[in-house]
Structure 1
């Protein structure tokens, strides 16, 4: 009897224990997962991380430890990420600043596209144009009229040159046909304090960070930068509703890993994030913070990063 060669080889492989096994499911049993947040405690990225990290840990049956590595426009945290082993145990949350940094820093210690693995976009964080409660400007039209009458007299604060809060102001000047003076700060808390005390006249701030000050009467919101009204500040119009044509600016926050992360680990993390953000508990908490959930697949998030790198370069130029 003549044996089939393929059958003979397979039989030998089984006998020797060499037959291909079914692919093992990805697990994170080795050690806790490190989630880098490249900003200070209390920031939008930090609030996002601490909202979903416990649920993500439960889903993966492993602790997800949030680690704040603030500094240099989020560069310090990303530099730490790209040095890590691509095994899924080191992740980072990034914001739109990641797409702006290549235009601002010509000597970045990493490549913003090649040295990362996109996992998922997570949320967008709409901004609100805010003024002090004592401001004479009750509407966006009044603010624009004043800025046109006396160019550069009004100061607006941001968290630094090239940050989302700065680019929101640059885009506003362009679309509304006004000129204001940009005052860069090192952090968001100082901006809010100076705005409340009328040291600056205007600021573009995350809805999630100042909704309570607006509701409590410390600040006055004039409009939001998103395409739809905010769920937690529903009385405020969008800029388009307020008459500023073609203005939508929604900074995003997402998750990345080091480059060369195996596809099965990447997909496991993305699927877990998708499930966690669909739970009522996490969804309700994020919506109360003013975030809009936009969980995406890795490929779509990668395209978003590249698109924003290109658009930010054009806007800053």
Structure 2
């Protein structure tokens, strides 16, 4: 092999060029591309997950070495629309998604979905969770804690309504979990959005509901709604005075709104690591930490392996709950 000047290459030069050629051959598409990463969110703009992800975009762009990040909201069919698009995306590192509980709930509540919830996606990281809180309208429900609420519901079965953000949602299952654990009966009233649900809770059209803490913090402070208990395992730093439902006598009650980064199936390990590390770094910056604290979110990015195990365990847990509650959607 000769150069364009007809001089033979030295051994060192030849090795250098060969190494460079090999390196170029194995550099993945995302490292060579100046295209932005598309982050599919199977939820509408302004929702909890949307707010959580958008707060981290500036830090995520920096963590990706300046590569752009474009949020693509694809709501519909309980998250199935967005997840379907992600499942069909090329595993090139340029399309990923951020999903929530509904991702593993849908197989248990819908009779048919157009993808394999576990097989058609690559787990990257469960980033964290948003605390849920059981609330009541104080003018309609006199109870101030779990014991009083359970006593009231047992004394007047099927008298009170509990709201959710839609049939088969995690909020719906959170309500059903309370009914099951407390051995009470209530009527379920599904809404099309969290906003509409909260509006009617404040207005008294429904008396009880489970909702994300960030969505009702202002209403709890104003007294428009009253917190009965947090739904997670521990109290929230954003509302330390609100006890958990578990510590109030229902020790097995635990549910929260988690969110996780996933990619299409067969996403190469090098890309999984790059995306995982970028998200972990982005959510560890002071700016994003402050935003998460204001929203009351708990951030603890996990490994891809932990995410895979968590998806399976959550899928089994929700399947049992949906079956017991008789939830089935077309």
Same fold flag (TM > 0.5) = yes
Q: Which residue in the other structure is 1:46 paired with? A: 50
Which one of the candidate residues 226, 234, 251 is aligned to 2:240? Answer: 234
* 1:126-275 paired onto structure 2 within 5 Å: 126-134=131-139, 135-275=141-281
Deviating above 3 A after TM superposition, structure 1's stretches of 4 or more consecutive aligned residues are: 13-26
Residues 86-125 of structure 1 aligned to structure 2 (within 5 Å): 86-125=91-130
Partner of 2:7 in structure 1?
none
Counterparts of 1:159 and 1:15 in 2: how far apart (Å)?
62
* Structure 1 residue 137: Cα displacement: 2.2
More helix by percentage: 2
Q: Deviations over 1:11-31 (max 9, x none)?
A: 7x9579555735648636421
- Structure 1 unaligned runs (5+)? 1-10
- Give me the whole-angstrom Cα distance separating, in 1, the residues matched to 2:254 and 2:313: 15
1:263-310 CA distances to partner (integer Å, 9 max, x unpaired)?
101100101111111222211211210111120111110111111111
Name the counterpart of 1:298.
Answer: 304
Distance 1:80 1:152 in 2: 41
Is this contact kept in 1: 2:163–2:188, CA < 8 A? Answer: yes
**Structure 1 residues 282-291 or 241-250, which shifts more?**
241-250
1:223, CA displacement in angstroms?
Answer: 0.5
Q: Alpha-carbon deviations, 1:187-216, whole Å to 9, x = none?
A: 111100000011001000001211111112
In 1, the alpha carbon distance for the partners of 2:17 and 2:297 equals 52
| 8 Å CA contact retained: 1:35, 1:67 | yes
1:190-246 alpha-carbon deviations (Å, 9 max, x no partner): 100000011001000001211111112221111101111111221111012222222
TM-score by length of 1: 0.91
Distance in 1, matches of 2:215 and 2:239, equals 12
RMSD: 2.0
Higher mean displacement: 244-253 or 133-142: 133-142
TM-score between the two structures when normalised by the length of structure 2:
0.88
C-alpha displacement of 1:106: 2.9
Aligned with 2:69 (options 23, 40, 64): 64
- In structure 2, do the counterparts of structure 1 residues 194 and 167 end up closer, same or farther at CA, with 3 Å as the change threshold? same
SS of the residue aligned with 2:247? coil
User: 5+ unaligned residues in a row in structure 2: which ranges?
Assistant: 1-10, 324-330
**CA separation in 2, counterparts of 1:161 and 1:278?**
35
Q: Tell me if 1:287 matches 2:293.
A: yes
Provide closer, same or farther for how the CA distance between residues 15 and 173 of structure 1 changes in structure 2, counting only shifts above 3 A.
Answer: closer
- The answer (yes or no) to whether the contact 1:211–1:232 under 8 Å persists in 2 is no
Indicate conservation of the 8 Å contact 1:208/1:290, yes or no: yes
* Aligned residues of 2:125 and 2:276 also touching (Cα < 8 A): yes
Is residue 81–residue 257 contact of structure 1 (8 Å, CA) maintained in 2? yes
**Bigger mean CA deviation after superposition, 91-100 or 20-29:** 20-29
State the secondary structure of the residue aligned to 2:228. strand
